[in-house]
């Protein structure tokens, strides 16, 4: 299973719900989900949370869920978090973690 795949795994729903609850600025704040993780909306709604597909984070959201591979959102994600929004993101950078490339990973 890919790292972002854990965000879609129904067996991890309790963990995901806990993470979303912790990240939200207030209990009733809506949750936005990037279209690449559309099935996460059903998992969240099935647990009684207000969630909807959103192509990018917006101010009214309490949390935005996305994968690390959503190109072009970096500046908007940074702005969203600086404004107090919570960010749940899944992904990996396997090309940086492969042993020959470990020297490329900044430390400190």
The answer on pLDDT for 1 being more than 50 is no
Average pLDDT over residues 74-95: 84
When comparing pLDDT for 85 and 97, which is higher?
85
Q: What is the CATH number of the domain that holds 92?
A: 3.40.1010.30
User: What is the total count of domains within the chain?
Assistant: 1
Q: Which residues pair with 42 in a beta bridge?
A: none
Domain coverage including residue 24 = 4-104
Dist CA 62 CA 84 (whole Å) = 8
- For 36-69, the pLDDT digits (tens) are 888 889 989 988 999 999 999 999 999 999 987 7
Closest-CA residue to 66 (of 48, 96, 40, 97): 40
Whether the pTM exceeds 0.75: the reply is: yes
């Amino acid at each position: 299973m890919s790292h972002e795949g854990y965000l879609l795994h129904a067996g991890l729903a309790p963990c995901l719900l806990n993470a979303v609850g912790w990240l939200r600025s207030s209990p009733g704040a809506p949750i936005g989900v990037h279209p690449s993780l559309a099935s996460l909306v059903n998992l969240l709604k099935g647990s009684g949370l207000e969630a909807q597909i959103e192509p990018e984070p917006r101010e009214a959201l309490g949390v935005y869920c996305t994968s690390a591979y959503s190109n072009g959102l970096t500046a908007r994600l940074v702005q969203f978090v600086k404004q107090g929004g919570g960010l749940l993101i899944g992904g990996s950078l396997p090309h940086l973690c492969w042993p020959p490339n470990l020297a490329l990973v900044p430390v400190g």
